[in-house]
Every structure is written in C-alpha cells, then in structure tokens.
Amino acid sequence: MFYKKKGLPEESELVLCTVKKVSYHSVFVTLDEYERLEGMIHISEVSPGRIRNIRDFVKEGKKIICKVLKVDKQKKHIDLSLRRVSIALRKKKNAEYKQEQKAEKVLEIFAKKQKTTLEQIYNQFGYKLLEEFENLNTAFQSVVSKETDLKEIVPEKIRKPLLDLIKEKIKAPEVTIEGTLKIKSAEPNGVEIIKEGIAKIQELAKTKNYKINITYLGAPNYKVILKSSDYKKAEAVLKEAIECVTKFMEKNKGFAEFKR
C-alpha cells in the first residue's frame, strides 16, 4: 500500500509483517503498515513447544501477522510474537488489511479519473480522511451508510464524483443475526395460531424493509435468520418482532421464546 503509518505501534496491536531475515534464535521482520519500522521475534515467540528448525515456521519473504509485545520508544525496538496470534485473530487482521487495500484502490482509481497521482490525492484530502476516521475503509463505509458526505474534508468540485465512485466500489458489510424460536400451542387450533404468530414476525420485518428467513427445525423449534448491513437496526427489528409474536402467543394461550 502507498499509505504508511508514522510513529510506533501500540503494545498488543496486531501488525502485518514481512520476514526479512531468519537467524538461529530470532526472526527479523519489516512492519508493512508502518514507515521504515522493523521488529524482532524471539524463537520462543515463534511457536509453542520446542522448535528444532525455525525455518519450518518462517522463511524470508513470508507475510505473517504478529502481536506487539514490547516497544522501546527511544531505540525504536519492537518485540513481536507470532505464536500469540490465534487463527481467528489472524483471519480478522487479514480481512481488515484487504478491506483497506480495496479502499486505497478506490483512491487510486479516482486519481486516474482526475488525471493526477495517488500521492496528490492523499495530499489533497486523503490524509485528512485518516485524521478524522480510523482508516479509509471506515470513512468509505460511513459514506455508504449515509453517515457522512465528507463535506468538511473533500473539496466541493470533486466531492460528488468521489462519493459516486465510493458507492459503486464499496459495499456495506452484511451481518447475520440468528437464533432458535421455540413456539407452541396446546389449543385445538394450535397449528393455525403458530402459523399466524410466525406470519406476524415476517409482516413486521417487511414493514421495516427487512427480510427474515424462518425455517422449521422440528416441533416446537424454528430457525430464525436476519441479514442486514446495519447490526443495531437489525437487532432492534428482530427484538420488536420477537416481542410481537410473544405477546400474540400469550394472548392466544400459547408460548414463544427466542434464544441465540
């Protein structure tokens, strides 16, 4: 990526690194997201257990995700760990980095459309974006979700074409909320009551422009799945829908309960 962070990383931060040199007892890496920074991984932090050959785990040129253990701000010495990064954290960090690469690619495309360079775009408004937002992807997601129009950051004459490009290239992330709905009735027309209760969930979601998928698992359980780009709003809609069906079932001498 063109953009590099200045300064030093924080302790416990996850950083993307490239292996520069492998010695008998340690690994030396460059921190890809930072400007001219290197770090060191002691052999004890490469992998749990005894290591006979450090090169079984790392090789020059390999990209790895590390955790920052200690930072000496005066000497700019950074101690890192490879073994303390779980698979889940590694996947999360890789996904975040790829999203940021994609966001910077949008700026690169925009620079070409404006017949200028990526460096000039950063100087014009890119660095201001990074001062206001955590990263480019966060800024662009805010545009997509209509939380900002970058009015105070991007010059007026190029703002609309930039916003149009962001909306074309960046999609809002989809989140999934799911759980099991237990719903039952001992009334003679219990089947019809249950069907009506489930229909109430779907009708309420529809009025809020959300689609809920409800699948029969076997009496008295149903799988409920709701997908959305806005987790908080989706969760509020689901909560309202569950409260609606719960009250309906209680009114009709039935029972409804939702569990994640």
Whole-angstrom distance, CA of residue 176 vs CA of residue 161: 32
How many Cα atoms sit within 13 Å of 42 on the Cβ side? 8
Task: Please name the residues in contact with 105: beta carbons below 8 A apart, sequence gap of 6 or more.
Answer: 169
Give the CA-trace dihedral at 102, 107, 112, 114, to 10 degrees: 150
How much is the pTM?
0.71
CATH of 175-259, one of 3.30.9.10, 3.30.70.1130, 1.25.40.10, 3.30.2020.30: 3.30.70.1130
Map out the domains of the chain as residue ranges.
14-85, 88-169, 175-259
CATH of 14-85, one of 2.40.50.140, 3.40.1030.10, 3.40.50.10800, 3.30.70.1060: 2.40.50.140
> Lowest-confidence range among 184-188, 225-229, 242-246?
225-229
For residue 67, give both structure tokens: 């955790």
**Runs of H (alpha helix) within the chain:** 87-113, 118-121, 127-132, 136-144, 156-169, 190-207, 231-251
Q: Order of strands, edge to edge, in the sheet holding 212-218?
A: 212-218, 221-228, 175-185, 254-259
Token pair 């987790």 in the structure block, residue: 231
Per-residue pLDDT reduced to its tens digit, 31-84: 999 999 999 999 999 999 899 999 999 999 999 999 999 999 999 999 999 999
Task: Please name the residues in contact with 181: beta carbons below 8 A apart, sequence gap of 6 or more.
Answer: 198, 201, 214, 221, 222, 223, 224, 242, 245, 256, 257, 258
Per-residue pLDDT reduced to its tens digit, 74-115: 999 999 999 999 999 999 999 999 999 999 999 999 999 999
In degrees and rounded to multiples of 5, residue 100 shows phi and psi of -70, -35
Q: What is the pLDDT of residue 260?
A: 86
CATH of domain 88-169: 1.10.150.190
Confidence of residue 235 (pLDDT cuts 50, 70, 90): confident
